Structure 1
Amino acid sequence: MTGGVLEAVRTRRSWSKVTDEAPTHAELAEFVSAAGRVADHSALRPWRLIELRGADRERLAVAIAKAEGDKKPSSKPLRAPLLIAVVASYRKSKVPRWEQEAVASGVAHMLSLLLDDAGWGVFWRTGSATRAKAVAKAHGLTKDEELLGWLYVGGKPVRTKASRRKSVDASKHLSRMPQPKKARAHKA
């Protein structure tokens, strides 16, 4: 197998530290448009993304502190110049909630791959704050929405040594469906 997509997936990694550069809104919109092409039963598009820059990150820092019972704003949202909140926006449908959440997660993962391939550092942050009322309110979530986490995006810092994630051993995660047990011969 060859191709740009395979190579992008193989070289993807999380960047827990990023620089202060970030894609523009127009660049981000192009990536979001492409990421929205994930498999989506009934084409519900049960997701939305919220772009947080500048003061938005500071407001999130206050909301996280409130959720965690801290007096000082959290420093976490200030670790990247761009945060993208990933929201599962559930629709009334025959499609179950878990499948709709899987679509939203798929969009987030696809977006992270696209951003990484374009040269941006990305990592996905989750945690208990994603389910906190103060954080949901800060994001303007409705009763039919859940925050799945944030993609933190910035420039990739220069690395002095190569860091590569180990490949997955497919034999440990890929199997065939079990064969049925042979019927016992009936003894008369």
Structure 2
Amino acid sequence: MPSDGHESGVLAAVANRRSHSQVTAEAPTQAELLPLVAAAARAADHASLRPWRLIELRGEARERLGDAFVTASVCTDEDAAKLRRKPLRAPLLVAIVACRRDDTPVQVWEQDAAAAGVAHLLSLLLGAAGWGVMWRTGPLVRAKSVRLVHALAPSEELLGWLYVGGVPADCTAGNRAVIDPCDYLSAL
């Protein structure tokens, strides 16, 4: 099948993907984010359930998340201050929520995989649009106070946050080791 040139753009976006642990104070607007979310929704999704939702956290919402981190932890004042600052490392956090449904034969793990697929595609799309992105998780993802900040339903699980911001001018792309695909692809 001949290439229409579209595949090379996708391959380049994936090959150039990297996590940006530090970003600037710039962030995409909701209007800029919406078409990327629409495109990310094309991720593989068993039975087209769309078992996911995304939550934008900007401004004070990030501060409330930092407070929830502290509430969920037993720590010193110094550690509490560090925890409280974690959500402030990016101007935009996009929470990835798996919305698990039991009214379908689609297994929960498949529903979670669909939600993770949306998150990964969204991170690729944001990166291709010139934004710095890092998917962050950790033990506090499952904390009660963190669930409350996100107003999660009992059937929902937080899968982490995409930390999104501008790419610093002095950013140098990290080099990830290239794999030998033969080590990871086998046939039966």
2:59 match = 54
Query: Structure 1 residue 86 and structure 2 residue 91: aligned?
Result: no
> For residues 117-140 of structure 1, what are the alpha-carbon distances to aligned partners after superposition, in whole Å with 9 as ceiling and x for unaligned?
000000000011111111001100
| Letter matched to residue 183 of structure 2 | K
C-alpha separation between the residues in 2 aligned to 1:89 and 1:171?
36
Unaligned runs of 5+ in 1: 178-188
The amino acid of 1:6's aligned partner reads L
SS of 1:123's partner is strand
Post-superposition offset of 1:69: 2.4
Select 2:74's aligned residue among 61, 64, 69: 69
Aligned residues between the structures:
177
Query: Cα distance, 1:159 vs. partner?
Result: 2.9
TM-score with structure 2 setting the length: 0.90
Shift of residue 75 of structure 1? 1.3
Of the structure 1 ranges 69-78 and 36-45, higher mean CA displacement relative to structure 2 is found in 69-78
Matches within 5 A, 1:1-150: 3-70=8-75, 72-73=80-81, 74-92=84-102, 93-150=104-161
Larger Rg computed on CA atoms? 1
Alignment RMSD, CA only? 1.4
CA positional deviation for 1:86: 0.4
Q: CA contact under 8 A between 2:91 and 2:165: conserved in structure 1?
A: yes
* 3-state SS of 1:61 partner: helix
How many Å apart are 1:171 and its aligned residue? 1.5
Structure 2, gaps ≥5 residues long: none
Structure 1-normalised TM-score? 0.90
Residue in 1 aligned with 2:162? Answer: 151
User: Contact between 2:18 and 2:173, CA under 8 Å: does it hold in 1?
Assistant: no
Identical-residue share of aligned pairs (%):
57
Structure with the largest fraction of helix: 2
User: Which one-letter code corresponds to 1:56 in the other structure?
Assistant: A
